[in-house]
Structure 1
Amino acid sequence: MRILLNQHFSKSPRGWNSWFFDQMSIPYQSDILELGCGSGDLWFDNEARVPQSCEIVLSDFSPTMLSNAQRNLRHLDRDVTFEQFNANAIPIDNDTFDIVIANHLLFWMAN
C-alpha cells in the first residue's frame, strides 16, 4: 500500500528507488546485502547502475516476497543470491558486506 501511495501521490519527477540509489555510493567491487528486499524493485529499477563486479545478496523474511523478487529479477545479467531469514537474527558473519540496505525495514524490527 505504501508503495502505491508513493507512486500515485509523489510530486517528484523521479521515483523513490532512483532517488534512493543516488544516495548510495557503491564502490566498484562491493558485497551488498539488502534486508527486506520485498519484490526486488530497488534492483529492478536500477539494474543498469550496479557495477557488474558487485556481489548482491537479497533477503526477506517472507518466502513469498523472496519468490517474487527472484521472478522479477530473473532477467538480470548478473548473479544475485536470494536468502530467506529474519533480519532480527542475521545468519551471516559481521564484516561480510561492504553495504547493508534496510530500506523501509527498520520499523518492523523488534530491536
Structure 2
Amino acid sequence: MSMMDKVENVKEQYRDGNNLAKRTNLHVKHSTNKQGFVPWLFEKYEFSKGDRILEIGCGNGTQWENRIHLLPEDCTLVLSDFSEGMVKVVWEKYSGQKNMLAQKLDIQNIPFPDNCFDVIVANHMLYHVPDLPKALSEVKRVLKNGGKFYAATNGNGGMRTYLRDAFKEVNPDLKSFTKDISFTLQNGQSLLIEYFDDVQRYDYEDSLSITETQDLIDWLKSTVTIATYADSDLNGFYEYFEAIRQKEGAINIPKEAGLFVSTKV
C-alpha cells in the first residue's frame, strides 16, 4: 500500500476542500489546453432522460457547477465522497437543486442495490482505493446492464516524471514520484476489462506552462499528506523552479491525463 491509498492519509488529504482547490488552481491558471479538462469530460459523458447518476469521489463537486440544471429531464444525481467534509461542501453548494442528493460512501462497499445506476463517474480517485478489485466489483454490481462507468486518471509519466527528476536535483535523498500509482492510463484498460465488457480510452492532450512559481509550490504543499515528503523537505524548491521560470519564461511541465469509458453489457 502506498501513501496515496492509505486510508488515514486520504482522509486527511480530503478533510476539506482546501488541498483540492490549490491543485485545481494550478491547472486552471496554467494549462495550455484552454478547453479545460471538465468541459472535455462533458463532451464524453452520455446522459439520457431519467438516468440515475452516481459520482463517487466527487470532491468539492466543481465539475457540476453550472451544469446540474443541464442534465436531461428526470435525471437524479447522487454526489458521494469518502470524506464527510466534502459531502458537506457539495450539499451546501447544490442543496437547492431538486435532482441532487449528497451521501458519504466507500466505493469498496457501495450502499445501493444491484443494477441501480445508469451512469457512474469516478474521476481521479481510483488510485486512492486500497482494494481496487473490490471497488470495481462494487461498481459493476450497482451499474445497470448497458450502463457506463467513467473513470478519469493520470499517467505515470508527464508531471510525475518531471517532478521526480526535479526532486533528484534538489533533494536526492527523497524518493518522491518514483512509485507508480495503482490506476493509470497505462494499466487502466487491463484492470477494467476484468469487470466490464467494453473499455475505451481517451487521452486529453495538455501541458502546464507555469508563470507563477508559488502556484507550483502550493501544489506540492497541498499533496504532503499523501506524499513521501514533508513541508520541510521542500526547502530550496522555490529557488530551483524560479530559476527555470526566469530563464525560460515559464516552468513547462508535460501532463498525462485521460478517461476510460467502460460499458456493462
Q: Is the structural similarity TM-score above 0.5?
A: yes
Residue 87 of structure 1 aligns to a residue whose secondary structure is: coil
Residue in structure 1 matched with residue 60 of structure 2 by the alignment: 39
Residue in structure 2 matched with residue 81 of structure 1 by the alignment: 101
- Kindly indicate whether the alpha-carbon contact (under 8 Å) linking 1:21 and 1:46 is maintained by their aligned counterparts in 2: no
* Sequence identity percentage: 28
Whole-angstrom distance in 2 between the partners of 1:15 and 1:48: 20
Residue in structure 2 matched with residue 52 of structure 1 by the alignment: 73
The CA deviation string for residues 16-63 of structure 1, in whole angstroms up to 9 with x for no partner, is 222111111111220100001111112114234311310111110101
TM-score by length of 2: 0.39
Count how many residue pairs are aligned between Structure 1 and Structure 2.
110
- Which structure dedicates a bigger proportion of its chain to helix? 2
Residue in structure 1 matched with residue 111 of structure 2 by the alignment: 91
TM-score by length of 1: 0.88
Whole-angstrom distance in 1 between the partners of 2:73 and 2:40: 20
- Quick one: which of 49, 53, 72 aligns to 1:28? 49
In structure 1, list runs of 5 or more residues that go unmatched: none
The CA deviation string for residues 41-95 of structure 1, in whole angstroms up to 9 with x for no partner, is 121142343113101111101010011111121343x321111111121111221
- Which structure dedicates a bigger proportion of its chain to strand? 2
CA RMSD of aligned residues (A): 1.5
Q: Offset of 1:6 from its aligned partner?
A: 1.5
- After superposing the two structures, state which structure 1 stretch, 42-51 or 53-62, moved more: 42-51
Residue 13 of structure 1 aligns to a residue whose secondary structure is: coil
Whole-angstrom distance in 1 between the partners of 2:41 and 2:108: 23
Q: Which has the higher contact order (CA 8 A, sep 6+)?
A: 1
Runs of 4+ in 1 over 6 A off after TM superposition: none
